[in-house]
Amino acid sequence: MSGKWLKLPVTAKDLQSLAIGEWVNLSGPLYTARDAALERIHNLILEGKKPPVDFKDQLIYFVGPTPPAPGEPVGSAGPTTSRRMEPFLPSVLEAGVVAVMGKGPLSAQMVSEFQRRGVVYLSAAGGAGAFYGSRVHGAAVAAYEELGPEAVFSLKVENFPAVVALDLKGGNLFEQGPAAFRKEA
Amino acid sequence: MREIRADEIKNAVVSALKEIHYQMRPDLKASIKQALEQEASPLGRQALELLLQNAKMASAGVHPLCQDTGLTVIFVEIGQDVRVVDGGLAEALQAGVRQATQEGRLRHSVSVHPFKRVNTGDNTPATLHYDIIPGKGLKMNIMAKGSGSENISALTMLLPSAGEAGVRDFVLNIIRQHGAAACPPLLIGVGVGGGFDTAPVLAKKALLRRLGEPSSDAETAEMEKTLLAQINSLGVGPQGWGGTTTALSVAIKTAPCHIASLPVAVNIQCHSHRLAEVKL
């Protein structure tokens, strides 16, 4: 995808420059998490304990990959539904996450939370797991190995495309995108 | 009486699952290509192109089409003159799922208990549906159902006076509110009639129909066409990024129902429609 190249971990300046509807091509390290791991992390933070990895200035990607073929870092690795993670997101954002990647819209309440904290939301293409899996060049379990596909992985991605869905200027692709094509009577 | 060995059934499940997780169905590919020609949004077209590229990459057999390798659902039509030998039918189907999970490197996506959330580790139990039919045939429709789309599926019991318009409104509300989260472009299976228990099964069976093939009933086919046009006017678009392709198809199945009821079930399927029909 032709778009902006974004080196991970992202800088505040890079994040400021993003606008909804544009593609970014990510390269570098990121952390994954989904339902089970996020619930544990959320509970740790509520108890005043440290999460198992340092999320400060990190991008967190909602994914549960399939097992890798021999010699591959991961199998299929497309995004999962972000809205399901919302109960745990405020804690994770509090831990210093600056960008979140998943699929589908966030609730109005969560959109305000992102805007208030200055967090960018990237929408990866749901169902493109083979494509995304091939853009992962390294994978290691960072925490909760016992959760299998739901463990926290540290992934090294290269040329990993996603669309900016919430930017730092108040733009919301999941509102503005469909509004431009709505033809309901 | 025709005898079919349980092993033969298990092996058929294994090869079907290993196929559908890596090879996009030809009717689906054709439908996405057609949508690509008609999609008005540039971002929408890029999303559709990415899905075709994804299918091409998956076909190499290294990365499955989607990381949500789903809950396996098997619809079995078994002739009443068939006898399964050297093992049980259900056991053979579950063993097939277990073996395909291992050999096909499918994600473990099934929890033992809805609250305890411990993984079964082999994607069993699959959901099994049986229909007993006349004759000596055995047919299986094997589907891998992702949860992003399953989670927005719904059932309602309308008043009969709500009629066709009531059914269409119910479907449209689901897509308007939740469609973007379910990996559009979507496939919509609708079951109308039957009862509280059977309407959802009808809706899922509607998804077994080949894409682009209308209902054999002319009035139902007309309703499918109308509803598809209405869904695509919502603007949700591929991935929910906005556009004119929110759904690729609407398939409706009807059944007789109680004079006081109008059950409606909507089973939403994502564009990663992994389904195979196997005849033994």
> Is A127's CB within 8 Å of B105's CB?
no
Instruction: List, for residues A81-90, the tens digit of each pLDDT value.
Output: 999 999 999 9
Q: What is the pLDDT of residue B6?
A: 98
> Is A76's CB within 8 Å of B148's CB?
no
> Is B148's CB within 8 Å of A81's CB?
yes
User: Given 3.30.460.80, 3.40.50.150, 3.20.10.10, 3.20.130.10, which CATH number is that of A4-184?
Assistant: 3.20.130.10
CA-to-CA dists, residue B221 to A54, A102, B70, B216, B251, angstroms: 55, 36, 29, 7, 8
Contacts of B240 in chain A (CB under 8 A): 104-105, 123, 174, 177-178
**What is the C-alpha separation between B18 and A44, in angstroms, rounded?**
39
A1 → chain B, closest CA residue: B46
Q: What is the pLDDT of residue A9?
A: 96
Percent of chain B with pLDDT over 90: 99
Percent of chain A with pLDDT over 70: 99
Q: What is the pLDDT of residue B116?
A: 87
Interface test with chain B among A1, A2, A23, A76, by most B beta carbons within 10 Å: A76
A128 → chain B, closest CA residue: B54
Q: What is the pLDDT of residue B251?
A: 98
Decide if pLDDT at A185 tops 70: no
Interface test with chain B among A72, A153, A164, A181, by most B beta carbons within 10 Å: A181
Decide if pLDDT at B192 tops 90: yes
Q: What is the DSSP letter of B181?
A: G
Q: Which of residues 103-122 of A touch B (CB under 8 A)?
A: 103-105
Query: What are the two backbone dihedrals, phi and then psi, of residue B110, each rounded to the nearest 5 degrees?
Result: -120, 130
Locate the domains of chain A by residue range.
4-184
Instruction: List, for residues A31-81, the tens digit of each pLDDT value.
Output: 999 999 999 999 999 999 999 999 999 999 999 999 999 999 999 999 999
The contacts of residue A43 (CB under 8 Å, 6+ apart) are: none
Decide if pLDDT at A1 tops 80: no
Token pair of A45, please? 């933070």
ipTM of predicted assembly, 2 dp: 0.96
Domains of chain B plus CATH, in order, are: 2-20+64-145 (3.30.360), 148-272 (no CATH)
The contacts of residue B99 (CB under 8 Å, 6+ apart) are: B10, B14
A138 part of contact set with chain B, CB < 8 Å: no
Decide if pLDDT at B90 tops 90: yes
A102 part of contact set with chain B, CB < 8 Å: no
Instruction: List, for residues B125-156, the tens digit of each pLDDT value.
Output: 999 999 999 999 999 999 999 999 999 999 99
Decide if pLDDT at B117 tops 90: no
CA-to-CA dists, residue B220 to A118, B74, B262, angstroms: 49, 26, 15
A71 → chain B, closest CA residue: B62
Instruction: List, for residues B200-251, the tens digit of each pLDDT value.
Output: 999 999 999 999 999 999 999 999 999 999 999 999 999 999 999 999 999 9
Which of A84, A104, A133 has the CB atom closest to B180's CB atom?
A104
Which of A69, A84, A173 has the CB atom closest to B62's CB atom?
A69
Q: What is the pLDDT of residue A103?
A: 98
**What is the C-alpha separation between A180 and A182, in angstroms, rounded?**
6
At residue B50, the 3 state secondary structure works out as helix
B216 in Cβ contact with B245 (< 8 Å): no
> Is A81's CB within 8 Å of B181's CB?
yes
> Is A66's CB within 8 Å of B106's CB?
yes
At residue B265, the 3 state secondary structure works out as strand
Backbone conformation region of residue B113, classed left if phi is above 0, alpha if psi is from -120 to 50, else beta: beta
